[in-house]
Amino acid sequence: MMRYDRPVIGLAFCLSGLAGFVDALGFLSLGGFFVSFMSGNTTRFAIELAGRHAGGILLAATILGLFVLGVVGGSLAGHFAGRQRKAAVLAFLTLALLISAGLDAIGFGMAGAGVLAMAMGAENSVFQRDGEVTIGLTYMTGTLVKMGQRIAGALLGGPKLAFLRHFVLWLGLLSGAIAGAIAHGRIGLDAIWLAAAAAAVFTLVAL
C-alpha cells in the first residue's frame, strides 16, 4: 500500500467505503451473515455445521462460494483488460451490483443479497500486482495489523505518519458501513442501486 500515490489511495478509500456500505446491507438482510468478511462467515459456517442447521449451512456455503466466484470473475476481467484492468474489474463489480439490485426488485431479495458477496469478491481484485492483492478492500484485519506495525515502527524511530494510510482505509470501511446501515433502515435493499451507481462512477474514474 505504501507504493501507491495519493489519488490511488483516495480511490481505495472510496472503494473501501463502498465495501462497508454493501457489507452492512448484506449483514442486515441475511440475518448476521457477511457478504465481504469471509473469516466471520467461515466461523458461522463451522457453527452451523456443528449445530447441524441445514439452512444456515446452505446459506454460509453459498455466500462463501459466491465470494470466491466473484474473485475469479474480477481477476479474469482484469487479466483480459490489460492496461485498463482496474476499470474492467470495477465494471464487473458494477454489473454484479446491478444483478443484485434487479433480483431484489423482482422479489428475490435473499438471492440479491447473496449476489452481493460475488460483487465484494470481485472488488478485491481491483488493486493487484504480479497476481497478488496489494490492497485488501473488504477485510480490515490485515490493514489493522499493518497499522499497528507502522505505529510500532514510529515509536522505534521510523516514519511518524506511515500508519495513516492504513487508518484511512479502515475509516473508509467504517464510514461506508454506517451509511449502509442508515440506508438500509430507510429504503432497505433498494440501497443497492445507490451502491451500483457509486461503482459505475468509480469505473469512470478508473478509466
Alpha-carbon gap, residue 175 to 20, rounded angstroms: 7
Measured at the CA of 4, the angle between CA 155 and CA 20, to 5 degrees, comes to 85
pLDDT surpassing 70 at residue 131? no
pLDDT surpassing 60 at residue 2? no
pLDDT surpassing 80 at residue 133? no
- The answer for residues whose C-beta is within 8 angstroms of residue 148's C-beta and 6 or more apart is 163
For residue 135, the model assigns a pLDDT of 74
* DSSP per position, 156-198: TTS-SSTTHHHHHHHHHHHHHHHHHHHHHHHHGGGHHHHHHHH
For residue 3, the model assigns a pLDDT of 61
pTM above 0.85, yes or no: yes
Instruction: Average the pLDDT over 171-185 and give the result.
Output: 96
For residue 160, the model assigns a pLDDT of 85
Q: Which pairing describes strands 132-133 and 128-129: parallel, antiparallel, or unpaired? A: antiparallel
Instruction: Dig out the grid coordinates for 12 from the structure.
Output: 481505495
Instruction: Average the pLDDT over 50-62 and give the result.
Output: 94
Alpha-carbon gap, residue 40 to 198, rounded angstroms: 26
Angle between helices 164-187 and 141-155 (to 10 degrees): 150
* DSSP per position, 23-90: HHHHHHHTTS--SS-HHHHHHHHHHHHHHT-HHHHHHHHHHHHHHHHHHHHHHHHHHHHGGGHHHHHH
| CB distance 162 to 150 below 8 Å | yes
For residue 90, the model assigns a pLDDT of 95
Instruction: Average the pLDDT over 100-114 and give the result.
Output: 92
Instruction: Dig out the grid coordinates for 205 from the structure.
Output: 474514474
pLDDT digits (tens, 9 = 90+) for 37-55: 898 899 999 999 999 999 9
For residue 140, the model assigns a pLDDT of 81
User: Which among 166, 58, 165, 77 is positioned nearest to 121, based on CA atoms?
Assistant: 77
138: pLDDT confidence band, cut at 50, 70 and 90? confident
